[in-house]
Amino acid sequence: MGVTDYVIPLGEGARKRHYHESIKGEVIGFVVQMEIIVEGKWREVIRYDSEHGFPHIDRYYLNGTKAKMELKLKLNEALILADEDILISS
């Protein structure tokens, strides 16, 4: 099993966190999220992941609420979308 894990600064007070596991080139799990500094702490703003057995997006709001949207994609496709979307959003 291969693991890829890194953090990329996106500018002052923002970063992208990327983690995925794969077997023979096939993604078996992932988390890609954009984080910002809020009151001195890193907080997720948007997270793509495969927890709960399916790829989805969680959007986090400063008022403490979050919204979940299922992605009708294979894990490999969802990982590519997550990486590209977070870089474009920054």
| 27 burial level (CB within 10 Å; 0-12, 13-18, 19+) | buried
pLDDT band at 90 (very low <50, low <70, confident <90, very high): low
Rounded to an integer, what distance in angstroms lies between the CA atom of residue 35 and that of residue 87? Answer: 12
Find all residues with CB under 8 Å of 14, minimum gap 6, and list them: 34, 35, 36, 37, 90
- Between 14 and 53, residue with greater pLDDT: 14
- Mean local confidence (pLDDT), 31-54: 94
Mean pLDDT of the chain: 93
Is the pLDDT confidence value at 11 over 80?
Answer: yes
Whether the model pTM is above 0.75: yes
Rounded to an integer, what distance in angstroms lies between the CA atom of residue 36 and that of residue 49? Answer: 18
Percent of the chain with pLDDT over 70: 98
51 lies in which domain range?
2-89
Number of folded domains that form the chain: 1
